[in-house]
Structure 1
Amino acid sequence: MNEKADIAIIGGSGIYDASILDNVREVDIDTPFGKPSDSITIGEYGDRTVCFLPRHGKGHRISPSELNSRANIFALKKLGVKRIIAASAVGSLKEELAPLDIVIPDQIYDRTKSRPSTFFEDGIVVHMGFADPFCPEASSSIVDIAKSKGYNVKEGGTYVCMEGPQFSTRAESRVYKALGFDIIGMTAIPEAKLAREAEICYTMIATVTDYDVWHEEDVTIEKVIENAMKNEAAVKDIIVDCIEKLSLDRGCMCKDALAGAITTAADMIPYEKKRMLEPLIGRHL
């Protein structure tokens, strides 16, 4: 495949504005894990090549639990992507994080139950560090960009990732709040884990749509969509600057995450597995 991209944007279709790109094209990519959520839009912005992947497919037709995140991340790896910016609508678990605020989280608490979250199984074992699930280098840059534009941004915070697609019960919401978590959503896992396994920097622009159900107001999909649409303009504005200003020279741990992490002896990894995962592990074997 000849197509390449430097930066990937993953999120809802509302944040994509292909009009900012030149030489726009759509590509269909096959992976050993199946097809990504949809075709990937690629274009140029200055000297950067950018790709957009609609996480839930065009028209938002794929449930969080049904996302083929392995195919999504593997496809971006095949494109040569170095940095992923994930856009995500979230609920707030803190009074001070109001709807329409922006959070650049630095931690994740995983409450998912049924999602494949590794590329490495069936003959290969990889124990990879995941203490800091978001790329600190890219996250810091995005915080600076968002603040310079005057947005109300919280730097850091814990994103609790629930299974969904239902919203929380009141009991769950109150427990998450009592545990000190900041925001709640349904998509950071396994995206962040798989991006780290693929040695791609992963960072998130999380936009608050509601206070979840610990607050006096119930969460309604109408309110979530209304606020998500209001947040889209801010996310687009930040992303345009990110495309231009994010360094592609990476000094973070993400780019070498697999170094020393492949536990299985190289001569014991099945040949077909090596061939299948070559874009991920080739340089480490």
Structure 2
Amino acid sequence: MTETMIGVIGGSGIYEIAGLEGAEWVPVASPWGDPSDQILTGRLDGVKIAFLPRHGRGHVHAPSTVPYRANIDALKRLGVTDVISVSACGSFREAMAPGDFVIVDQFIDRTFARDKSFFGTGCVAHVSVAHPTCPRLSDACETAARDAGIRVHRGGTYLAMEGPQFSTLAESKMYREHWGADVIGMTNMPEAKLAREAELCYASVAMITDYDSWHPDHGEVDVTQIIATLMGNAEKGRALVAQLPGLLGPAREACPHGCDRALEYAILTAPDKRDPELVARLDAVAGRVLGNGRQET
């Protein structure tokens, strides 16, 4: 049994929640570089919570330059057990309209300019991301959205593109008609993969802002339209997050889906062949299995 600590990665509108007790911005040092920003910590309805602005306050990081490894590592170091990703996205489905939320359960990773793993030469590991989000945590997000009166869709495939430009019309049609993607965004990869490597439960809440460029009645993506929809989505996002402490509770059992044991058999490099420097950097992420970090209680 561990103490629940909810980590929320999202924009500034998400963490401005009334009732956050003991709110404090704290710096967290990571061997993977500086996180996007300091992390806002506190308690909400008695449950520990941490908010990390994915792009930094003032939106200083483009999707490709977000320090994804440092962000996940910093949350793990703080004691976060459950990560909720809240992000804007475009929709490939008529029924998934701007203003709706989607609880994502699958990804297609089209990013190419980002560090996607904590592991590498000197400590090789392979984790499964067949089911990249945690059903237990996704259940809580769906319930929270419905309790907050948000129109929400359970299940959807998120196409992660590199950006920062939006899709061409040909790409948009391909992703929708041939690849079976439901929504498109720029930030959930490699975030979800890294959370799995760090043995953190991860759920993705995609907030739809537009129909991308495929929709014949909406034309190309308009940033002014996106910003207007984002304003309304931020209020809904805060309402969703405010419901989570009551649903998850202060005490946490082991994840029934094994997210918190993802590294159990994943590390292949023999102990005597492991790079000590890399192993040292993995103290928070993989200390449970490498024996150089905090152990499960």
- TM-score bracket for the superposition, by shorter chain length: over 0.9
Contact 2:28 2:35 in 1 (8 A): yes
Match of 1:237?
Answer: 239
2:256 to 251, 259, 271: 251
Match of 1:25?
Answer: 24
Partners of 1:133 and 1:34 lie apart in 2 by: 25
Measured after TM superposition, the shift of residue 148 of structure 1 is: 3.1
Mapping of residues 1-285 of structure 1, within 5 Å: 6-178=5-177, 179-216=179-216, 217=218, 218-247=220-249, 248-249=252-253, 250-285=255-290
SS in 2 for 1:86: strand
Name the aligned partner's letter for residue 201 of structure 1: C
Partners of 2:262 and 2:128 lie apart in 1 by: 7
SS in 2 for 1:194: helix
- Note the alpha carbon deviations across 1:147-180, whole angstroms, 9 max, x for none: 2333211100100000000000000000011022
Point out where structure 1 has 5 or more consecutive residues left out of the alignment: none
Partners of 2:147 and 2:20 lie apart in 1 by: 23
Measured after TM superposition, the shift of residue 281 of structure 1 is: 2.1
Name the aligned partner's letter for residue 109 of structure 2: D
Name the aligned partner's letter for residue 111 of structure 1: R
Measured after TM superposition, the shift of residue 5 of structure 1 is: 7.4
SS in 1 for 2:84: strand
Partners of 1:159 and 1:10 lie apart in 2 by: 17
Partners of 1:67 and 1:261 lie apart in 2 by: 26
Shift of the 202–173 alpha-carbon distance from structure 1 to 2, 3 Å rule, reads: same
Match of 2:295?
Answer: none
Q: CA RMSD in A?
A: 1.3
SS in 1 for 2:64: helix
Name the aligned partner's letter for residue 231 of structure 1: N
Partners of 2:141 and 2:117 lie apart in 1 by: 27
Measured after TM superposition, the shift of residue 279 of structure 1 is: 1.6
- Note the alpha carbon deviations across 1:193-223, whole angstroms, 9 max, x for none: 0000000111011111000000122211111
Partners of 1:5 and 1:274 lie apart in 2 by: 26
Percent identity (aligned): 45
SS in 2 for 1:252: coil
Point out where structure 2 has 5 or more consecutive residues left out of the alignment: 291-297
Shift of the 62–5 alpha-carbon distance from structure 1 to 2, 3 Å rule, reads: farther
Greater share of helix: 1
Question: Normalization by structure 2: what TM-score?
Answer: 0.92
SS in 2 for 1:219: coil
- Note the alpha carbon deviations across 1:1-35, whole angstroms, 9 max, x for none: xxx97111100111112532111111111111111
